[in-house]
Chain A
Amino acid sequence: MDYLSYLLIGFKEIISLTNLFWIFIGGLSGSIIGMLPGLGPATGVAVLIPLTYGMNPTTALITMAAIYYGAMFGGSRASIMINTPGDASAIATCFDGYPMTKNGEAGKALAMSAIASFIGGSISILFLIFLTLPVANLALQFGPAEMFALVLFALTATVTLSQGNILKGFISLFIGFMVSTIGIDPQTGLLRFTMGVSDLQNGIDFLVAMIGLYAVGEVFKNYSRIKLKYSVNSSNIGTIWITWDEMKRCIKPIVRSSPLGFIVGVLPGMGASIGSMMSYTLEKQLNKNPEKFGKGAIEGVAAPEAGNNAASSGALIPLLTMGIPGSGTTAVMLGALIMLGVRPGPVLFQQHPEIAWGVIASIIIGNIFCIIINLPLVVPLVKLLNIPQRILLPMILGLAFMGTYLMNYSAFDFVLLSIFGLCGYLMSKLDIPIPPLVLALILGSNTEQSFRRALTISNGNPSIFFEKPISLVLLILTVLSLVYSIAREIKQKKNNVEISA
């Protein structure tokens, strides 16, 4: 069996004390960062990048993956305890998690969410094991034309499939492209858009931009709620366990939500927040007593938690097999990996199967670590919610600046970091989505180069994009996703008119 032997190679690669230690640390810090309101997984990965600097690529990759799914476990802690989601993927958990706490069932909700996260994560690993190889093999046949069409589709879908104003999404995307064109053009050596600043000759390091947007920008945003204090009373959590009967009620929702979340996670632009929301809505519709939802139904905690963990595994498919991130968090992970000299993609599966499969194997182990962190250790963990923002934020800033410095040892990066932090703040104030910008930053150069390489092959004839079947299909999908989002917006407008009329 092919897959099994690959998985064994993966396990062999990662079973060492160092790696196990870092999977645990990654899962723990991910759980904590995911739990703290205002700090999402993208911020978490961005701030913790310096931890991976001295590591070998495999250890770095599994640590970052652990932070990512750890955040999916942790996000629900805050939803349940204080009705404030730790990150967007835990919003749906508030709907029934917090009512359960008010009913004195916080322990049950915490236990259920950890168990559902674990099962959702485990089911989606199975999909991951069987899907990565075929997808990577397909991607291996991609030439420049297909690559361009793929990136175009991924970037368009990030805008069109996410909620919110499409035009603003595209503006964010184009600004990302603009930033990515700054510096020396790799094909001709021409200096572009450096405005005479010599520090810009090598372009803007996308990691600096990402840390600025996600870490410094988040801190600026949170400055306005500095006085907010969450208080968690850990004495009335109750026993952290569930009965067999409750487990039986939740098993079907979990099993249904996992594939749903996984598929949503694979698609660019959707990700864990939409995955968990869709899982919740589906279960509410299928449940025999939908009126209980919103009042503390344990199924309403199980479904979104299984969904968001499954989605986070799903998001690893495009990242690992094609080197294309579908969300802000995976984009930050990709940025950190590129800096360490690992370029995820089909070639990784061919040349370094041990790294690619090591990550998949590490998720199996990490899931077990995360359920240990989030079940028996949950009481000390939720006490961390008591740390006031006014102490937390300066430390996040310190980590962001230090991480940036350690990347290039360049003080000029601090100027960029501050500028991007301010940009991130202003963008969120103007409701401009940040993920399209970040994705364009990291894929921008790739997009332009494959566009030009494809046209070099065809001597400047653009029909090359339509003659290759894979590229044609991807371009059709791109157009369809555009049409879909425009149709959705027109429909929303109609609904608005009807409501106001």
Chain B
Amino acid sequence: MTTLNRAAWRLATFLAAGLMAGPLRGAEPVSPPVVEYTIQASLDPVTHTVEGEERLVWRNPSGDAVRELQFHLYLNAFKNNRSTFLRESGGQLRGDRAGTRPEDWGWIDVSSVKTDAGVDLKPSLRFLQPDGNDPDDQTVVAVSLPAAVAPHGEIALRIAFRSKLPRVFARTGYVRDFHLAGQWFPKIGVYEPAGMRGRARGGWNCHAFHANSEFYADYGRYDVTLTIPASFVVGATGKLVSEAKRGDRAIYHYSADNVHDFAWTADPRYRVHEFRFDPSVDVPPGWTDLAARQLGMAPTELALKPVSVRLLLQPDHARARGRYIQSTKAALSFYGLWFGAYPYETLTVVDPPEDGQGAGGMEYPTFITGDAPAFLLRWPFERVRFVEDVTIHEFGHQYWYGMVGSNEFEESWLDEGLNTDSEYRAMELAYGPRVIDLPGGIGADMYSIAHGSYSSLPNLDPIRRHAWGYASGASYGVNSYMKVGLFMAQLRNDLGVETFARAQRAYFQQWSFRHPTTSDFFDVFERVSGRDLSIYRRNLVEGTARLDWSVVSAKTDEAPKDSGVFDRTSGRVTYEKGRPVLPKEVKEKKDRSDEKKMFESVVLFGNRGEWAHGARARLVFEDGKVVDRVLPAEARWVRLRVRYGSKLAWAAVDPDRTNVWEWNRGNDSIVLGRGKGAADTAGGRAAAKYFAKAAYFIGLFVQAAWALA
């Protein structure tokens, strides 16, 4: 879209916003769906392979005649060390390493592709490297059609495949008898018509599987039958329609509508805990009213639906049971109230084993995997809210990615980042400001952790970038997650909590079951807020601008007394060091009790960052007086000069820390002295205390070395 078109679109939407009344109507799923999968699959837990047959109905959403179909074969990322995924990741992801034994590799083979009419398409099957990536990568395949699929027409294919799950290290795979099957079947890409997501021409959006990318697919219907040894406990996306036994095998039939993926798990060790989310009792007190206030809606408009939840827990993680349940209910409450009721009837929460945590912390429609390392379940680390945080985050993906189906390859911030922001808010509401709260006062809140991550990263990438285009895995992670959390918090502080909440709900409602882009996000926020947010988009999302207001210098001295010739109302007076020079015959009164010492305080504030954004300045004097001033956005620096009867104790910029985007807090204040009330700071004591603490820890370290001697 050209700049002119975009400006026109923005003007039109501003005008339309004035005419629109009432909440936006939510988006409805496309019907009939673009894709319909009917899959029969059978697991061999000894070889960790899945034999599958898939019938896929694909409906052409465009006005184009489509002559080929493109599929993701994600499992081929684990086939060998020349795949794009393994070359980019170096064989590790999120701290887990790939196995190197022959049985540790994973792959997917398509043995047959035919149309419903029996036309064999396998000869035309060829691998693609759509991102100019490694020529040996086999995660994208194309099939040419003997006849094009007509505009808005459909085609049905029968695909036979064999999937070998890898030893789990990157979301999907096995360890011992634990199996987590994600991205395990041939999955058709997304054909985007012209105009969708800003495309000039229609075409396939089917990227290779990169180390730092996730997934993108059309909404549809999944009808999946799994044949698994009867001793295994099974969980999957969607609703269990039927369950039957045949000898030593069990057959599970699952069905899911309005989803864009299907995952499942099987492990004989799972302990099943089923519970129900009942909104009438499980929504924490006060949340409904708070959400209603922020959204400007009546509490009755925020009704939630009951959900049947199935928790599949490892036997040695029994301590995590209550934490999983409580955090799942908190997540259902928060996301439902602030964005919209969770529309599905079921949710499955999977707890991977200790040696299978590569599968943990992952999201699929109506199916999430948590993470509960054993050491975090015991004192003192049980006070680290890791289990809760992962559960809430992964559930949140039911909204950002699950229902709002942004392209995780190209705009990872729209799902990971928005969800990170939601996760922070939900965690704060449910558990208080600190997610880490160890004995001795050691702890941190989510925003501090995000700030630490953001400020320690070389500022090489903007938030919005193709997932594989970041300078490093760390850059992908920080830009997609934490930095967006800070951006959203900054936006919320600037727009106001209520406006932000309404805008975000409107974005969710409008783009549910669709594929929005960055432009769509800003369009909704601008429409609801009535503000031009291009400066945020340009600087914070698509740029690398930092904000760094600082107290450059501060000093306070006795104010110079008047000296020289002054024209007062009473006439011309000559002063010498503050006292009028009188004729010699006039004796001077000695009483100077009403002479008060005055001090001149000069503070220079400067914005060392690239983003022009205002801040609040605060000067606190030793007698406790507080003076606040606004530092305007357009100013690069501001010098404040105050003449007052007390010395300056300290000066600070953004003392309440509403500028969440601020890059460096270390230069946000200067302390000159101490005093009463607000001027009473403990910095000197702090320096001494923490120096002693550092020496003490070093002393313990020295004494630990004695164990050798």
Same complex for A and B? Answer no
- Could you tell me which B residues sit within 8 Å of A by CB distance? none
